[in-house]
Structure 1
Amino acid sequence: MSLSSTSMTDLVQQAFAETRGRLTPQAPLGPRTWFRVGGAAEWMYQPADAEDLAAVMQRLSPELPVTALGACSNVIIRDGGLDGIVIRLARGFSDITVEEDGLVVGSACLDATVAEYAAQAGLAGLEFLAGIPGSIGGAVRMNAGAYGSDIATVLDWADIITRDGSLIRLDAGALNFGYRRSGLPEGALVIRARLRGTPDKQADIAARIAQVRAARELSQPVRARTGGSTFRNPDADISPRKAWELIDAAGCRGLTRGDAQVSEKHCNFLINLGQASAADLEGLGDDVRQRVAQHSGVQLHWEIKRIGKAEGPSA
């Protein structure tokens, strides 16, 4: 159901009348994304804390579309921006509590920051987070992983706020983790999570984090405007080769569309060379998928989320 601008405004004013957070109309999103592309949010809401968020969600009409954004690392926001409410969790969701055998972390905490806290606390097992761009909320949602581990391996529970404003704690089993996915309820937002750690020497943990960072620096275009791995690796029964190998074999390394480029350093990464649009990046990704399918018969699936509307009245 489409809403007129007047009715949309009325519904927004009703839902946010008592919020302690910040509500911004037509908030630019491109500067917040790692690719530095994308249109504006019709409304951006930054809740003060979990209670503020839950209260707004309870009042929010089901007719209003809601999109949650974290660090905006593995996302392409299309050039026409996002309709409805964009929720961005920030200061009120960045606490970290150290416990004897783990950390309780807010969803806005950067993955790399959590790895550092774990090292300082002498807790091993979270070093892999140092190699993942983004924040914990997104990491839980997509079961982020790298360097031999993933969120499913270390998560005890996650607190979520559902679309109707209910606060629920789900253990790892209830999240139904799979490869780069979770079974979070539709429209739910992760607000905090507990991650397990194993006692170890701080120096040894720090050394492993340094190895992760060095490996990432060596193999990935970490200093470019990029969004992390573009495509999921195929299941082993479909192809024994990883996504980057299939892309390379199809001759896509260095391929461009406008100012978007397939990284020459790691060809499962797309790069904004400076003036790329979201359409350039998404179109280049689709070019790569087509070439890989023609060359090897393998259908690559996006790991990066593409959200929002294309620019122009025909979108």
Structure 2
Amino acid sequence: MSQTFAEGTAATRALNGAPLDGAGLLARLKDRLAGFRGSLQADAALAPIVWFRAGGPAEILAMPADADDLAFLMRALPEELPVTVFGLGSNLLVRDGGMPGVVIRLSARGFGHATVEGNRLRVGTALADRRVAAHALDAGLGGFAFYHGIPGGIGGALRMNAGANGTETRDRLVEAVAIDRRGERHVLSNADLGYSYRHCGAPDDFIFVEAVYEGAPEEPEAIRAAMDAVQAHREAAQPIKSRTGGSTFKNPEGNKSWQLIDAAGCRGLRVGDAQVSEMHCNFLLNVGAATGHDIELLGETVRARVLETSGIRLEWEIKRMGRFGATGEVLPFLGQG
């Protein structure tokens, strides 16, 4: 999953003049970033850190040391520079032309903490969802088993109100802490976030750095049984050991995306090495050397066929970002919708 507030589909914006490569951009930003304590890498490969294992590089990949370092980075970067935040790389498709500007990745070292405060858990947003479930088990707090079955990290879960098995992030969240594009810190209540199905109403430029959840005391045996049930369901119904981005499309009201995809004859459909899962039609897989273009083209082919057969326009749940590569642009619904 990712927190995204700059899609980065436009050409790279230079600070003054023509577009720059990553090394040139980093050199131009050197003085501004002199106080940054984290790591910076130019022209960094992103495919190894996204679950699809596809897509182009980032001009600059930045890993802040902690929340204060992130705030410094936000204040230091020019306002016109695209900024995108990556989490654990699930629920994410990077296009082959790569990501212009700065990609920020929150590290487990700086943003992976977890502390118990009575019936509450305070966690960093680089923490994996399933680790939150594990910490809740250790603390004897019920209500978090659903996170055991969701790939990705807490930052992405906050941004998209991630849920499973009848429970969503909003059902357990008390408050979240975010840093905005100007480097200012905000504490937002559950109500402030304006949650709905796979939607968060927080401003696009907010980067979540911490979350506070509340559960209820429960026997560890019962919590473990609930987590085991979630895991068993995933293993039986989803291709969790494949290179995938998780659920591809949101469920339309009153329908299941996988059923619409299956009815449109798309089970097992391939574009290059991208394939619709035979096990679960709402998962796209990289079964070999699929490119970002292959995966997105397959997704839009599925959307076009579902529209043709049912009249329903599926919406992407997976976040697609970056510039299209030399293969060209992929049009929504193949340009027919």
TM-score (norm 1): 0.96
Q: Secondary structure at the match of 2:309?
A: helix
Q: Which amino acid in 2 is paired with 1:14?
A: D
Deviation at 1:74, TM superposition (A): 0.1
Distance 2:31 2:285 in 1: 41
Q: Secondary structure at the match of 2:265?
A: coil
Distance 1:283 1:15 in 2: 39
What does 1:219-238 correspond to in 2, within 5 Å?
Answer: 219-235=237-253
Distance 2:202 2:105 in 1: 18
Q: 2:210 aligns with which of 166, 174, 192?
A: 192
Deviations 1:278-301 (A, max 9, x none): 100000000000000000000000
Deviations 1:195-223 (A, max 9, x none): 11110001110110010001000000001
Q: Secondary structure at the match of 1:141?
A: helix
- Root-mean-square deviation (CA, aligned residues, Å) is 1.4
Q: 1:288 aligns with which of 299, 302, 325?
A: 302
What does 1:69-80 correspond to in 2, within 5 Å?
Answer: 69-80=86-97
Deviation at 1:11, TM superposition (A): 5.0
Q: Which amino acid in 1 is paired with 2:48?
A: P
Q: Which amino acid in 1 is paired with 2:137?
A: A
Deviation at 1:9, TM superposition (A): 4.0
Residue 12 (structure 1) aligns with: 29
Contact 1:66 1:187 in 2 (8 A): no
Distance 1:289 1:262 in 2: 12
Q: Secondary structure at the match of 2:44?
A: strand
Contact 1:244 1:266 in 2 (8 A): yes
Distance 1:314 1:135 in 2: 31
Q: Secondary structure at the match of 1:61?
A: coil
Distance 2:279 2:50 in 1: 21
Q: Secondary structure at the match of 1:116?
A: helix
Q: Please state if 1:131 is matched with 2:149.
A: yes
Question: More displaced, 3-12 or 102-111?
Answer: 3-12
Q: 1:2 aligns with which of 8, 13, 22?
A: 13
Q: Which amino acid in 2 is paired with 1:228?
A: G
Q: 1:25 aligns with which of 18, 42, 49?
A: 42
Structure 2 unaligned blocks of 5 or more: 1-11, 330-337
Distance 1:276 1:9 in 2: 30
Structure 1 unaligned blocks of 5 or more: none
Residue 278 (structure 1) aligns with: 292
Q: Which amino acid in 2 is paired with 1:199?
A: P
Residue 299 (structure 1) aligns with: 313
Deviations 1:67-119 (A, max 9, x none): 00000100000111100000000120000001211200000000001101101
Q: Secondary structure at the match of 1:130?
A: helix
Distance 1:116 1:44 in 2: 30
Distance 2:112 2:60 in 1: 22
Contact 1:247 1:288 in 2 (8 A): yes
Q: 2:268 aligns with which of 232, 254, 269?
A: 254
Deviation at 1:145, TM superposition (A): 0.5
Distance 2:245 2:32 in 1: 33
Q: Please state if 1:85 is matched with 2:105.
A: no
Distance 2:327 2:160 in 1: 32
What percent of counterpart residues are identical? 48
Contact 2:13 2:101 in 1 (8 A): no
Q: Please state if 1:97 is matched with 2:115.
A: yes
